[in-house]
Amino acid sequence: MLNRSSLAPLPAGAEVRNTVPSVAWEETPCPLCGTDAGAPVLEAPDPLPAAGTGLVFAVVRCASCGLTYTNPRPTERTMAGFYPIDYQPHRRPRKIRQSRRARPFWARLSGRPCAERRGVLPWPGPGRLLDFGCGAGSFLKTMADQGWQVTGLDASVGAVEQAREQLGLAALVGTLPHADLQPGSFDVVTMWHSLEHVHKPLSLLREAFRLLVPGGKLIIATPNIDSLPYKLFGHSWFGLDLPRHLTHFTPITLTTMLQSAGFRPEPVRHLRHSDWLRSSARLADRNGRSGLFTKLLRWKPTARLAAWLCYVTSASDCIVCVAERPA
């Protein structure tokens, strides 16, 4: 059963150390179609080693549209408590690699992770870019070095400070909508593993639509709960990351939500992430579900082969979609 202790909420955007967070819970209808018909899928604890909260989080699937989402969930005001001060995506890499121009054919053949992040964006040349969930700014820095006019947006005060002070980039604290961002201000909006973190993903996509110029592009990368790794690992799957991941997309539900927000999405692409497989295997081992196959997936060559097989069978645990705002 879920431990729903309703304690004093944290201030919005507060930075929290590795302690048991104060949490208030909320029930939510489906974030896509709004119906209240969620059927249980699984329950799992917070996978972060330092979490130690004793809380278990439920994932349900909408009987109407098929979207999978966390419910009940921490409220927006208390969610900050589940992001430790050393949360990996908020940390700046020790060294930011120089971008290499990807060859589209090879990237598609190999399923190389997030080719767009290496500088091959669906836009004819440098333009205005907003990175939602920018973290400490490594992607922003890559694109700024290629001549793009970049702006970052992240809920983490510490991450935004790193992007500003250490990299000299324009970055804002908060979410969408944001008072400092005007309609039609961007040619490209990117959301690299950030859409699954927000409480109102459809509203956020509609705001991204408003910020783009006609013909502008939105790029979203997110875990795929309809993947073979999820079916293999279940509640030990790395892509769950409860309770920080609130919406658990499939290619169909991601496409449907983009269309509901007014976008014209391209076909969803699968990406390979062998490090995700290795992380899932380590988590399964920690949860007492260690078998021969799990042990093999902790070995880098095996994980790379398995990730490529998931990619070629369209069963990867990471998907990316490019969507256009119609002119």
57-112 pLDDT, tens digit per residue, is: 999 999 999 999 999 999 999 998 898 876 666 555 545 444 444 445 445 544 55
One-character DSSP codes across 222-274 = EE-TTSHHHHHHGGG-TTT-TTT--EE--HHHHHHHHHHTT-EEPPPEEE--H
312: containing domain: 102-324
**Cβ-contact 160, 151 below 8 angstroms:** no
**For residue 11, pLDDT beyond 50:** no
In a domain, 97, yes or no: no
- Tell me the whole-structure pTM to 2 decimals: 0.86
Q: Provide mean pLDDT across the span 129-141.
A: 95
Q: How confident is the model at residue 116 (pLDDT cuts 50, 70, 90)?
A: low
The token pair that represents 282 in the structure block: 């380590």
Q: Which residues of 31-45 are buried (b: 16+ CB within 10 A; e: fewer)?
A: bbbeeeebeebbebb
Q: Looking at residue 225, which CATH number applies to its domain?
A: 3.40.50.150
In a domain, 298, yes or no: yes
Which residue in this structure is represented by tokens 């590795």? 18
The pLDDT of residue 327: 86
Q: How confident is the model at residue 20 (pLDDT cuts 50, 70, 90)?
A: low
The one-character DSSP state at 198 is -
In a domain, 17, yes or no: no
Please report the sign of the dihedral spanned by the C-alpha atoms of residue 144, residue 159, residue 235, residue 254: negative
State the Cα torsion 282-288-294-298 to the nearest 10°: 20
**For residue 270, pLDDT beyond 60:** yes
Tell me, what amino acid is at 167? Answer: L
Percent of the chain at pLDDT above 90? 72
Q: How confident is the model at residue 284 (pLDDT cuts 50, 70, 90)?
A: very high
Q: Report the C-alpha gap between 135 and 123 in whole angstroms.
A: 23
The string of pLDDT tens digits covering residues 229-243 is 999 999 999 999 999
For 160, the 3-state DSSP assignment is helix
Q: How confident is the model at residue 53 (pLDDT cuts 50, 70, 90)?
A: low
In a domain, 36, yes or no: no
The pLDDT of residue 103: 47
The token pair that represents 159 in the structure block: 């991450």
In a domain, 283, yes or no: yes
Q: Report the C-alpha gap between 112 and 94 in whole angstroms.
A: 22
The token pair that represents 46 in the structure block: 């917070």
Q: Provide mean pLDDT across the span 195-218.
A: 98
**For residue 218, pLDDT beyond 80:** yes
In a domain, 37, yes or no: no
In a domain, 20, yes or no: no
Let me know the angle formed at the C-alpha of 91 by 83 and 77, rounded to the nearest 5 degrees: 25
Q: How many domains, the chain?
A: 1
The pLDDT of residue 40: 97
Q: Which residues of 183-201 are buried (b: 16+ CB within 10 A; e: fewer)?
A: eebbbbbbbbbbbbbbbbb
In a domain, 248, yes or no: yes
Which residue in this structure is represented by tokens 């059927």? 39
- The answer to which of 33-47, 94-108, 110-124 has the lowest mean pLDDT is 94-108
